[in-house]
Amino acid sequence: MFKLAIFLNIYFVLLIAPIFGEELIEEKVLTPRLFFLPGLSYEYVAFDNLQFHNPSSSLTMLRINPNEPNRLSVFSLRYNPNILNNQYQPEYPNLFHNIAFTGMQRVDRHFFICGFMPITERPLFGGSRSYMGMAIYSYNLVNREHFTMNLGMGLLLMDIGVRLNNGSPWMLWPIPTIGLSWEYEWINFSLIPGARLVIAPQKPVSLVLINRSREFDVSLWYRYFRDGTPSNEVLGIGFGVTNQSNNVMLSDGTRYGIIYNTIYGAVRLFRIFEINGGWAFNGRSGEGNISADTLFDSFGYSGRPIYNNDIGNGFFASISARINTN
């Protein structure tokens, strides 16, 4: 639930609305364009004695200056209430909040990224354990036709349980960042930091493999293109298998995690609207605490919960509106 994205993974969804900007013909100068991009999604997962709902809404602001193509500004605000009906842990709250603000400014080969994420059942008001932030500088070291590499360093603001002599928490932790991308006609690969591999990305039938920390997604897609152009995708039909997790954290630093596998089918229209659902199996749950030993584990996950509670099998369904890059 509260994953820390080192590089922004912003979904451009539903509506692209230019707010201002027309071409100034006399001076042959284009004025900046501002776009507001809203997004919506909803996910429901049900096991025998545990169910959770994950609605999500977001708004992304994108500013482009045609006179300075190497400059780009992106800001995003997302709210995700996690509604948990957990009969295994009835003492846990039923509602957790995940609020994320992220911003990125590109200037030529320089990238400045920031983020602030209030989380848990009492965001901000739950103390230092109820939020985390980041500030990252990244430089585009290699920018070739088929290969790019970004290297950077940042600071993570997070209470992981380390205390100073006066009892106050130590909040600042350095984090290295790396981003790699290969793009060819028959294969695309990126590491940002999760790994993503697409085989035959320009063809109607493609294979997509995604890995993020403990999670993975392997799917086979058939896509119908208008005029044979991938950017004009009309219909996509996919089948896949995943390993997913859903995590919430209390303001006292306790993390409760659910991990499960799924077999699913998905239908996508115009690369925007997607509906998927399927069978969830091998569900397990557990809990753990934040510790210094797990700071870099999963880029901000708290602790390593022991998934020793079998929650059985169930089903899941989700619907979303976002531009998909598969």
Give the domain ranges of the chain: 17-321
- When mean pLDDT is compared across 151-160, 257-266, 292-301, the lowest value belongs to 292-301
- Amino acid identity of residue 312, one-letter, is G
Q: How many CB atoms lie within 10 A of CB 272?
A: 17
Most distant pair of Cα atoms in the chain: their distance: 70
| Higher pLDDT among residues 204 and 257, named by residue | 204
The pLDDT-based confidence of 130 (bands split at 50, 70, 90) is confident
pLDDT for 236-282, tens place per residue?
999 999 998 888 888 887 888 888 999 999 999 988 899 999 999 99
Q: Could you tell me which residues come within 8 angstroms of residue 228 by beta carbon, excluding any fewer than 6 positions away? A: none
Per-residue pLDDT at 304: 55
Cα separation, 15 vs 3, whole angstroms:
26
Determine the straight-line distance between the first and last CA of the chain, rounded to whole angstroms. 23
Per-residue pLDDT at 109: 93
Contact 322, 41 (CB under 8 A): yes
pLDDT for 43-69, tens place per residue?
999 998 889 999 999 999 999 888 887
Q: How many CB atoms lie within 10 A of CB 120?
A: 27
Q: How many CB atoms lie within 10 A of CB 229?
A: 9
The pLDDT-based confidence of 303 (bands split at 50, 70, 90) is very low
Q: How many CB atoms lie within 10 A of CB 89?
A: 13
The pLDDT-based confidence of 184 (bands split at 50, 70, 90) is confident
pTM higher than 0.85: no
Contact 81, 55 (CB under 8 A): yes
